Amino acid sequence: MATHPCISLVIPVFNEGDGICRFLDTLDKHLDTLSNYTFEYIIINDGSDDHSDDALTNYTFSRSSKVIHFSRNFGKESAVTAGLAHASGDAVLIIDADFQHPFSVMDELIHTCFTDDFDMVYAVRNNRKDEGLLKRALTHCFYKLVNMGRGPKLPIDAGDFRIMSRKVVDALLSCTERVRFMKGLYAWVGFKTKAIEFAVCERQHGKSKWNIAQLIRYAIRGIVGFTDIPLKIWTIIGFFISFASFLYGAYNIVMALTHKIDVPGYATLVTAIFFFGGIQLLSIGIIGEYLSRVFQEVKGRPTYLIRDIHESHKND
């Protein structure tokens, strides 16, 4: 008898105590309808400080499961990385624990991956109407900047909601950088991929863990990790500024010699000093971002630390 493919469901959890049991119950019922597959749960409790810990410890799983408790909150990127490292399925599907990723789209991801033989099928949100203007503008700038280089392009509005074959999971795990930006890594590994559009649902409990400051930090992480354009651009800017000042200097000398004009310019001088001061600080700041990334990588600290793992095995 042919065995059914096993799919590991990676579910990152941070302070989802109010709804995690209901989420797992609903998911479990839904998975019963997908009889051509077997499933295992890989749940990462990313250092929750609400009652997620107790909720997960007391939950009775009807399928094989691993609940990995981090020693503290390391962030979703680390939680997903740990999930991939502990998954043993033929494919891995990542889904949020807050009902924002519809189960019908999960079915579509699974179906497209196995039936149409794709290595990675990812969900792309079809609108950002739920977000404010500032967040949307920043997201737009982020994608423009990070996709300016010659490297692989990040698909716009694709997140972690995706299914990946074992080949892709192993490729992602072979990327050993410690400061991880999963959206970039998914694009970087390549393979045969397909996008599916979906409408993101409302969060059903708790609240989003992201604020604007965190999003900006997250965007900088992506930019620093996946493009060196902000570093290199200063060579070009520097070249043009030097060239322009050389021309301006030459013009001043010629004017002074030929027309005996005393070149006025107190205001110009002050403006130029502030302008170039600003530009220099900005460029040093950008170099600092890259240097800090090198520093973090050189320290070689682990991406996450595990406090406990609870496993339960079931024969499906």
Rule CB under 5 A: which residues touch Mg ion?
96, 98, 100
Q: Within 11-40, which residues bind ligand UDP (CB under 6 A)? A: 12-14, 16
Nearest-approach distance from CB 20 to Mg ion, in angstroms: 13
Q: Tell me if 304 contacts ligand UDP by CB under 6 A.
A: no
Among 7, 19, 40, 46, binds ligand UDP (CB under 6 A): 46
Q: Tell me if 208 contacts ligand UDP by CB under 6 A.
A: yes
Stretch that binds ligand UDP, among 1-9, 25-33, 204-212, 218-226 (CB under 6 A): 204-212
**Per-residue b or e along 52-88, where b marks 16 or more CB atoms closer than 10 Å to that residue's CB:** bbebbeebebebbbbbbbbeebbbbbbbbbbbbebbe
Nearest-approach distance from CB 33 to ligand UDP, in angstroms: 22
Task: Give the 3-state DSSP-derived string for the chain, with helices as H, strands as E and coil as C.
Answer: CCCCCEEEEEEEECCCCCCHHHHHHHHHHHHHCCCCCEEEEEEEECCCCCCHHHHHHHCCCCCEEEEEEECCCCCHHHHHHHHHHHCCCCEEEECCCCCCCCHHHHHHHHHHHHHCCCCEEEEEECCCCCCCHHHHHHHHHHHHHHCCCCCCCCCCCEEEEEEEEHHHHHHHHHCCCCCCCHHHHHHHHCCCEEEEEECCCCCCCCCCCCCHHHHHHHHHHHHHHHCCHHHHHHHHHHHHHHHHHHHHHHHHHHHHHHHCCCCCCHHHHHHHHHHHHHHHHHHHHHHHHHHHHHHHHHHCCCCCCEEEEEEECCCC
Q: Tell me if 77 contacts ligand UDP by CB under 6 A.
A: no
Contacted entry of ligand UDP, Mg ion, none for residue 46, CB cut-off 5 to 8 Å set by kind: ligand UDP
Among 55, 66, 68, 75, binds ligand UDP (CB under 6 A): 75
Q: Tell me if 205 contacts ligand UDP by CB under 6 A.
A: no
Task: Please state the φ and ψ torsions of residue 162, each to the nearest 5 degrees.
Answer: -165, 165
Q: Residue 227 CB: number of other CB atoms within 10 A?
A: 19
Measured from the CB atom, the residue of 119 and 160 that comes closer to Mg ion is: 160
Contacted entry of Mg ion, ligand UDP, none for residue 225, CB cut-off 5 to 8 Å set by kind: none
Contacted entry of ligand UDP, Mg ion, none for residue 14, CB cut-off 5 to 8 Å set by kind: ligand UDP
Nearest-approach distance from CB 100 to Mg ion, in angstroms: 4
Measured from the CB atom, the residue of 62 and 73 that comes closer to ligand UDP is: 73
Measured from the CB atom, the residue of 210 and 295 that comes closer to Mg ion is: 210
Q: Tell me if 97 contacts ligand UDP by CB under 6 A.
A: yes
Measured from the CB atom, the residue of 40 and 96 that comes closer to ligand UDP is: 96
Q: Tell me if 211 contacts ligand UDP by CB under 6 A.
A: no
Compose the 162-201 pattern: x for residues touching ligand UDP by CB under 6 A, - for all others.
Answer: ----------------------------------------
In the structure encoding, which two tokens stand for residue 63, read together? Answer: 């399928």
Q: Within 99-128, which residues bind ligand UDP (CB under 6 A)? A: 100
Q: Tell me if 209 contacts ligand UDP by CB under 6 A.
A: yes
Nearest-approach distance from CB 137 to Mg ion, in angstroms: 21
Beta-ladder partners of 41: 9, 65
Contacted entry of Mg ion, ligand UDP, none for residue 53, CB cut-off 5 to 8 Å set by kind: none
